[in-house]
Structure 1
Amino acid sequence: MEENATVLPDILEVQGFDISPEFTYPLFFLLLFVYSSLLFSNIGVLMLIITEKSLHQPMYFLFCNLSVNDLIGNTVLLPRLMTHIISTERFITYNQCVAQAFHSHTFGSAAHMILIIMAIDRYVAICHPLRYSSIMTTRTVIGLSASAWGVSLVLVSVLIGLTVRLSRCKSVIQNAYCDNASLFKLSCDDVSINNIYGLFFTVLLFTCSIGGIGVTYIRIALICWMRKSKELNNRALQTCTSHLVLYLIMLWSGFLTIILHRFPKYPDLRKIAYILFHIVPANLNPIIYGMQTRSLRDKITQILQGKVRAI
């Protein structure tokens, strides 16, 4: 029987990290702390926005999108990764692996789309403050958010669908987690279509992301330069710097993951870059956006002051 026709069991072995025994539990507890902190901060922001009627505004709906995406993306990745770190046997079913890859890629593409919408929101707020409420209505923001999620789900469904159709001749995921590239590397079939669509998917996503955010920031910079208003410059610097820094972190960690898939000599670096792509923005988003948004910051301060008085 040929190798590519071999019937394999539905259980896959995950390669994971090669960790010295003395670092196993420190790494586990570090990831547990990171996961707990992002759960606490993102769920806290979500609950605050949901329960406070004064925060039922389009801008805060965008924060909810970001928090929900961060929670889903990291919950799909981190618990199983932590389990595999302290386990001697690292196994996952093929269906679970496909589900993890699907949610993980949806997280990445949705994050880019949501950040494009947030850049547009910042542009309108800074450059057209008097027209902000008429442009960024609740209906508009919901429509843009639905489009971001819809486009992400369609693109990723095709990406994963092309991989699921392949037969398997291997059963080891050469990674610490499941993603599309790791899945189609299990096959001995011709994966040219997967590589072509994967390249199309990546180029389209990054072109839209970099192009959309680049255009909005260039227009903000031009308007600030032409108006020469110190107040406008300060507002633009305060609201845009954090967004741009977080976007660049996500962009470069995503770039590293994609590029390092082509260089098998650096597997651990690729795995670390992918994990950073998930956990760094998810931990920083609620802190930076929460602290730099006055209404949200004031509400958080009021709650904390109320708890201090109660103690």
Structure 2
Amino acid sequence: MDNLYNTSSILTLQGFNLSSQAIIPAFLFASLSYMIILFCNLVLILTIVLHKCLHQPMYLILLNLPINDLLGSTALFPQVIKEILFDTKTMNYSACVAQAFVIHIYGVGAVFILTAMAYDRYIAICCPLKYKTIMTNGHIMKIITIIWLINLTLMGVLFLLLLRLPRCRSLMTHSYCDNPSLLSLVCANTTINNIYGLSTVAITQVIVNATILYTYLQILIACFKSKRSDTRAKAMQTCATHLIVFLLLECLGLFTIISYRLRNLSPHLRRFIGVSTLIFPPTLNPIIYGLRTQEIREKIVKIFSRMISPL
């Protein structure tokens, strides 16, 4: 019986199974995507950190979004680029668990941060006179701390439940590591893991979606009641941007979860859906919030103007 669980610490990933002609384009696409994500998110972080006028509740919450995006992207892209370039389909088990943990932190964190941003916009638009009293820097730091503590606790328990189980397989069913793929290596009863995982997703989704739905309904009502057309247009534009980003993340995350339940789904499509969650939101978020937010856009333009002017 002991030999049954005496598996190697080296895991074999499913891989992308690229043809020789597709290796270079795939490598360039992955490398370029990662560089764009790094550049855009770092610019957004530095812009907010270096300008004290942006040290306001809305931007302090927003600051967590590029940090979270960098965590998720860095957990995925270096491994994917290495796999494409060197055709390596192996990974150490501990590194795989670490990658999965960070990717799950990214997914849950993104949803929580966008929910906090919706709450901030709700207070700003529906209770403008009380905004400065409610959304103090101390209150914002409490919100941010609670977001990360809940995220780390939920995912910490999820992976502690995983690590207690014995493995008897080393072949992964995915091209990168996540909790469902790691659970497929286990030769033991995973009922507790499945119940906890699904319960966490269900409860989180109910709370997050209920909060988003309530805040945006209240914002819409406030916008339609507003007599100032410019204020109404600006509020609607800001909220529409937040809602699009949230729906994109939710749809990609939902498709990823469903893809594991569909046995007949093409493995290539499953991999594409999984990777898309870590490509599109981290790429679009800094562009959307950097270019569409006037205050941030002006500061970014100034930074690059100072860099270019001496030349």
TM bracket (short chain): over 0.9
Query: Is 1:108 matched with 2:87?
Result: no
The whole-number CA distance in structure 2 between the counterparts of 1:96 and 1:40 is 25
Deviation track 1:113-148 (CA, whole Å, cap 9, x = no partner) reads 111000011112222223222211111111101111
Deviation track 1:35-92 (CA, whole Å, cap 9, x = no partner) reads 1011011111111222222222222111211111000111011110111122233111
Counterpart for residue 287 of structure 1: 287
The whole-number CA distance in structure 2 between the counterparts of 1:51 and 1:308 is 18
**Structure 2 length normalisation: TM-score?**
0.95
Query: Is 1:73 matched with 2:72?
Result: yes
Counterpart for residue 42 of structure 2: 43
**SS of alignment partner, residue 310 of structure 1:** coil
**SS of alignment partner, residue 172 of structure 1:** coil
The whole-number CA distance in structure 2 between the counterparts of 1:294 and 1:130 is 22
The whole-number CA distance in structure 2 between the counterparts of 1:211 and 1:270 is 29
Counterpart for residue 244 of structure 2: 245
Counterpart for residue 91 of structure 1: 90
- The structural deviation recorded for 1:228 is 4.9
Counterpart for residue 185 of structure 2: 186
Counterpart for residue 25 of structure 2: 26
- The structural deviation recorded for 1:310 is 2.8
The whole-number CA distance in structure 1 between the counterparts of 2:298 and 2:107 is 31
- Which stretches in structure 2 are left out of the alignment for 5+ residues? none
Counterpart for residue 261 of structure 2: 262
The whole-number CA distance in structure 2 between the counterparts of 1:265 and 1:18 is 19
The whole-number CA distance in structure 2 between the counterparts of 1:137 and 1:30 is 42
**CA contact under 8 A between 1:112 and 1:205: conserved in structure 2?**
no
Question: How do 1:64-213 residues align onto structure 2 when only pairs under 5 Å count?
Answer: 64-213=63-212
**SS of alignment partner, residue 189 of structure 1:** coil
- The structural deviation recorded for 1:33 is 0.6
Counterpart for residue 298 of structure 2: 298
Name the Cα RMSD after superposition: 1.5
- The structural deviation recorded for 1:229 is 3.9
Show structure 1 runs of 4+ deviating over 6 A: none
The aligned amino acid for 2:20 is: P
**CA contact under 8 A between 1:73 and 1:278: conserved in structure 2?**
yes
Aligned-residue identity in percent:
38
The whole-number CA distance in structure 1 between the counterparts of 2:304 and 2:88 is 44
The whole-number CA distance in structure 2 between the counterparts of 1:87 and 1:190 is 36
**CA contact under 8 A between 1:126 and 1:232: conserved in structure 2?**
no
**SS of alignment partner, residue 12 of structure 1:** strand
**SS of alignment partner, residue 187 of structure 2:** coil
The structure-2 alpha-carbon separation of the partners of 1:129 and 1:185, relative to structure 1 and needing over 3 Å to count, comes to: same
The structure-2 alpha-carbon separation of the partners of 1:130 and 1:290, relative to structure 1 and needing over 3 Å to count, comes to: farther
**SS of alignment partner, residue 173 of structure 1:** coil
The whole-number CA distance in structure 2 between the counterparts of 1:273 and 1:97 is 19
Counterpart for residue 271 of structure 1: 271
The aligned amino acid for 2:233 is: N
The whole-number CA distance in structure 2 between the counterparts of 1:285 and 1:89 is 31
Report how many aligned residue pairs link the two structures: 310
**Structure 1 length normalisation: TM-score?**
0.95
The whole-number CA distance in structure 2 between the counterparts of 1:227 and 1:54 is 27
**SS of alignment partner, residue 175 of structure 1:** coil
The whole-number CA distance in structure 2 between the counterparts of 1:2 and 1:268 is 36
The aligned amino acid for 2:282 is: A
Moved more, 51-60 or 275-284: 51-60
The whole-number CA distance in structure 2 between the counterparts of 1:29 and 1:79 is 13
- The structural deviation recorded for 1:226 is 3.0
